[in-house]
Amino acid sequence: MSCYIARKCPKCRAYFWVAVAHPSNRNRELPITGYCTVCGYQLKGWRLVLGRKRPIEIRYARIPKVFR
């Protein structure tokens, strides 16, 4: 089953539907399709890659004193 999301068309700014397939356990890439009926704009070959978000890397360093 697909999930339909309403988005604005980048060409004509009218609303069009974007269909995202339901994820399976094996596949981490979901195909995305979209078509604007007003201007004919299409999303072809787009994929949504699912994965974990990387944690923010925090580094601490010593800064030498510049002013005496």
Q: What is the pLDDT of residues 48-68, one digit of tens each?
A: 777 777 777 877 777 777 766
How far is CA 25 from its chain centroid? 19
Q: Is the pLDDT of residue 26 over 80?
A: no
Mean pLDDT of 21-45: 79
Q: Please report, for residues 10, 15, 18, the alpha-carbon distance to residue 39 in angstroms, rounded to integers and kept in the order given.
A: 10, 11, 15
Domain ranges in the chain are 2-49
